[in-house]
Amino acid sequence: AQSVTQPDIHITVSEGASLELRCNYSYGATPYLFWYVQSPGQGLQLLLKYFSGDTLVQGIKGFEAEFKRSQSSFNLRKPSVHWSDAAEYFCAVGDGSLKYGNKLVFGAGTILRVKS
Amino acid sequence: DADVTQTPRNRITKTGKRIMLECSQTKGHDRMYWYRQDPGLGLRLIYYSFDVKDINKGEISDGYSVSRQAQAKFSLSLESAIPNQTALYFCATSPPRGSGANVLTFGAGSRLTVL
């Protein structure tokens, strides 16, 4: 069964600084990988996804993530953080089984705080 | 209006009460899901449904039941609520085929507190 580890529960960065959120997954085949963001009081919004092809994927709000098969990682990055990026971020892995639908497995989340 | 609507958004109830959380969607998606979010645990799948006649248990279905009343409606019930079911519950949908089948659209969540 697949699993996802987000090693950092909380991260605090200064506004304008770069950001990297870590995600490691466990899955036997080629995974479908996702990053979602949850702002306070809101549902989850898809930031970006990786299915195949180019291992560097671009998402919304200036975020990008890089799939590294050798490290089983899918880290999320942003070159310059804005105060509005403060939220909780979830990495997720799907089994890619289109017949059985997408039973996403989520990491525990990383809470991002942005200081001015 | 939101693509995926959950009601109620907040509910406080007592141990032993029956609770229903409702979800409706305008996405036209066949697949619907109920997840539970707990701090430090991320989201865990409770039940999922691929169409009105296809309902499946997720990893934490004990103590919960669901009803798929129509393609657009998927309800989660707690027959006898207990305090450890206090959590934030999310409904989600996805299209049935292609790579989009792996992309979930979430509702805003229903916060349930069981006293």
pLDDT tens, A72-108? Answer: 999 999 999 999 999 999 999 986 654 455 678 899 9
Please compute Rg for chain B using Cα positions: 13
Work out how many CB contacts closer than 8 A connect A with B. 65
Residue in A closest to B34 by C-alpha: A103
Residue in B closest to A9 by C-alpha: B40
Residue in B closest to A95 by C-alpha: B102
Q: What value, to the nearest 5°, has the Cα angle with vertex B34 and ends A30 and B80?
A: 140
| Partner-chain residue, chosen from B42, B94, B97, that has the shortest CB–CB distance to A109 | B42
What is d(CA A88, CA A109) in angstroms, rounded to the nearest whole number? 6
Task: Please answer yes or no on whether B107 and A43 come within 8 Å at the CB atom.
Answer: yes
Please, which pLDDT band fits residue B101 given cuts at 50, 70 and 90? low
Contact residues, chain A, for B94 at CB < 8 Å: 101-102
Classify residue A70 as exposed, middle or buried by CB count within 10 Å of its CB (0-12, 13-18, 19+): exposed
Nearest CA to CA, how far is B67 from chain A (Å)? 18
Give per-residue pLDDT as tens, A34-46: 999 999 888 899 9
Q: What value, to the nearest 5°, has the Cα angle with vertex A74 and ends A82 and B44?
A: 90
Give per-residue pLDDT as tens, B41-66: 899 999 999 889 999 999 899 999 99
- What is the residue type of B12? I
Contact residues, chain B, for A49 at CB < 8 Å: 102-103
Please, which pLDDT band fits residue B98 given cuts at 50, 70 and 90? low
- Report the helix count and the strand count for chain A, using DSSP H and E: 0, 12
Q: How many residues does chain A have?
A: 116
> What is the predicted pLDDT for the residue at B96?
72
Nearest CA to CA, how far is B59 from chain A (Å)? 10
Q: What's chain A's average pLDDT?
A: 90
